[in-house]
């Protein structure tokens, strides 16, 4: 597992514990926090993918000419 995945795992576990202590109904069961963590993780992966694609496009343009 990558460092980002491990970090999200620990952050999700910590936030589930905090939400149980604070009695937040949406996050208490853990499913809401896992959903939020999945959204954040997918945003980071998509951002990395866009950076990779833009880098590939820049290098492809430089090699053709």
Can you give the pLDDT of all 65 residues of the chain as single tens digits? 577 777 777 777 777 777 777 777 766 666 777 777 777 777 888 888 888 888 888 888 766 55
| Contact between residue 33 and residue 15 where contact means Cβ atoms under 8 Å apart | yes
Residue 2 backbone class (left: φ over 0; alpha: ψ -120 to 50; beta: rest):
beta
Residue partners of 12: CB distance under 8 A and separation at least 6: 33, 34, 37
Cα separation of 4 and 6, whole Å?
A: 5
Give the domain range for residue 14.
3-64
pTM of the complete model: 0.52
Instruction: Supply the pLDDT for residue 36.
Output: 75
The domain total for the chain is 1
Cα separation of 23 and 17, whole Å?
A: 10
């Amino acid at each position: 597992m990558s460092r980002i995945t491990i970090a999200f795992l620990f952050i999700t576990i910590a936030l589930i514990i905090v939400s149980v202590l604070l009695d937040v109904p949406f996050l208490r069961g853990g499913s809401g926090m896992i959903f939020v963590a999945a959204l954040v993780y997918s945003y980071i992966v998509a951002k990395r993918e866009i950076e990779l694609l833009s880098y590939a496009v820049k290098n492809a343009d430089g090699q053709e000419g």
